Chains A and B, each alone.
Chain A
């Protein structure tokens, strides 16, 4: 019975190829817009949320002249080779108003045996860290020892180890995906820094003099106690550490990006709304164009023993099946275009972008197909009532005339 119904629906679709094609195109276009828009918006949302949590410090001290590079680090996770004195964190940690301080050092342009592309090494202090920890996806019990590493989500390991400069390191945990260059980073305890640099030198990797020196930091992350003013604390930091740093305000950067996101959301919302209205209008137009021929067809089928309700179901099933197909095509096109180029979209908007998971994207496809299906049904419902309500003879007579 179901097979017969499907055959009957397919036959009906085939017999009205113009109508079916128009419906497929319009629903595909709307679904493409809806899917692409929602994927971009949700990916930017996730990227923003990710960034907020990833670098949730109140202020960040970076070497003088490297503010732009540091902001790129916040936005896209691209690390730079900027350094200042390795004692900056110690100098500022006791300043009144500071609740916690942690530091990181980045080594860039170091080739590694493990990976085909460049791997970035991040040295951090596990005892004071509040930046890396929240992103460790799997727990590890022991301290991060000298021969232990934590790897970004894109790093592929072999039997739980990774080889760097000829030495094997045990991978004790992996970071959650961030959608940035952080995903291809390897995290060490700062205790390992000297030995890693020594190994790199031994393997003739290029290192700058600063890097060879080893007593360096790339950034210091600071959280303030409640009620303390950022400017007062920064002034005190300058007094203690000297005029060797610029300040980045992650949360301000976040707020400015949030404004951008709101604008993008408005644009996406407007495009989707206009697209939806256009689809509705086009469907009504298509239905009104083919209404006469369908009146006669439905009248004939009723004369041949098909009830009004069966005819209504037939028309709705055809519209539903075609719109679902069109919607699936649109979503797949959207997925093919938007998902692979998500990182580029984020970069072109200068915003953090974290693409959807397979399940997340699948849920969006289902929701969009349901919306498009409903729009198609609502647009054809009056037409269905009109066509099935007319007296069969009057419709057939019109054809004869």
Chain B
């Protein structure tokens, strides 16, 4: 479904090679994890796989289409419908509600009411349905993380790539998020997460371990 081939990425500033000929394949219905010490290149690998950081060499193919050969609009379409990336930080606009933060990026692709209904349903599934009308600064880190995940899955992408989705969260919230992502994968989608969280072993179908070179 989503595969990298001989991916090499090198930091421009210090010329350090962080990914060196990485070959990896994410299959349909699979919940995969990437683990490794800090600086091993987990986040960089996820960004390259998500099509938002062009590697120095190698290819990343989604259903046999090289993401980095696509025009901007075609790649955007894939990001909207097929591959969604959840960054480590919970970026939300502070002067609009959580629900608006979730719905607004997709306003031109579906009806407002449908999007809101679906978003509230997903928020309820993650236990924060009552916070839909709140402003982001009224939410805790764990609540914001769950809202970010709802925003990512709102358009039912086939692939979710989440960077450190449980970092800084308590065990219960972390497990709730991992459980949600695991269910999402079992529904015929694919999930790839980068994490330090050892609990991942109870959820992930396979784990890729990266080492700092």
Contact = CB atoms under 8 A, between A and B. Distances in A.
Nearest to B95: A15
Contact of A304 (B54, B80, B100): B80
Contacts of B79: 302-305
A396 B104 contact: no
Given A303-B52, A307-B72, A1 B91 contact: no
B108 A5 contact: yes
B97 to A, nearest CB: 10
A297 B108 contact: no
A293 to B, nearest CB: 9
Contacts of B104: 8, 11
Given A16-B95, A393-B47, A309 B73 contact: yes
Given A11-B104, A296-B91, A310 B112 contact: no
B76 A11 contact: no
Contact of A394 (B53, B89, B96): B53
Interface string B3-14: 000000000000
A39 to B, nearest CB: 36
Interface in A245-302: 296-297, 300-302
Interface in A3-34: 4-5, 7-8, 11, 14-17
Contacts of B91: 296-297, 300, 396, 399
A226 B151 CA distance: 85
A305 B155 contact: yes
A12 to B, nearest CB: 8
A141 interface: no
Most buried by A among B72, B85, B87, B94: B87
Contacts of A309: 72-73
B50 interface: yes
Given A4-B112, A308-B72, A400-B87, A15 B105 contact: no
Contacts of A4: 107-108, 112
Interface string A358-401: 00000000000000000000000000000000011110110110
B94 A305 contact: no
Contacts of B54: 391
B77 interface: yes
Contacts of A302: 52, 76, 79
A396 B52 CA distance: 10
A306 B53 contact: no
A5 B104 CA distance: 11
Contacts of A400: 43, 87-89, 163
Interface in B86-123: 87-89, 91, 93-96, 100, 104-109, 112
Given A396-B87, A400-B89, A301 B105 contact: yes
Interface string A163-198: 000000000000000000000000000000000000
Given A309-B72, A391-B54, A7 B89 contact: no
B74 to A, nearest CB: 9
Contacts of A304: 79-80, 84, 105-106, 151-152
B80 A305 contact: yes
A15 B98 CA distance: 12
B175 interface: no
A14 B105 contact: no
Contacts of A303: 50, 52, 79, 84-85, 87
Nearest to A308: B72
B52 to A, nearest CB: 5
Contacts of A14: 95-96
Nearest to B74: A307
B88 to A, nearest CB: 4
B81 interface: yes
Contacts of A310: 76
A304 B93 CA distance: 15
B73 to A, nearest CB: 5
Interface string B60-79: 00000000000011001111
Most buried by B among A8, A305, A307: A305
Contacts of A391: 52-54
Most buried by A among B91, B104, B163: B91
A360 B87 CA distance: 54
A310 B75 CA distance: 13
Contacts of A394: 53
Nearest to B164: A400
Given A8-B107, A11-B104, A307 B73 contact: yes
A300 B87 CA distance: 8
A310 B80 CA distance: 13
Contacts of A17: 95
A171 B151 CA distance: 75
Given A17-B95, A297-B93, A306 B87 contact: no
15 contacts: A7-B112, A296-B89, A296-B91, A303-B50, A303-B52, A304-B84, A304-B152, A305-B105, A306-B105, A308-B72, A309-B72, A391-B54, A393-B47, A400-B87, A400-B88
Given A16-B95, A300-B105, A305-B80, 18 more contacts: A7-B112, A8-B107, A11-B104, A14-B95, A15-B94, A296-B91, A300-B87, A302-B76, A305-B77, A305-B79, A305-B81, A306-B80, A306-B105, A307-B76, A393-B50, A396-B89, A396-B91, A400-B88
Nearest first, the 9 closest Cβ-Cβ pairs linking A and B are A305-B80, A15-B93, A393-B47, A307-B76, A393-B53, A305-B79, A396-B87, A400-B88, A399-B89
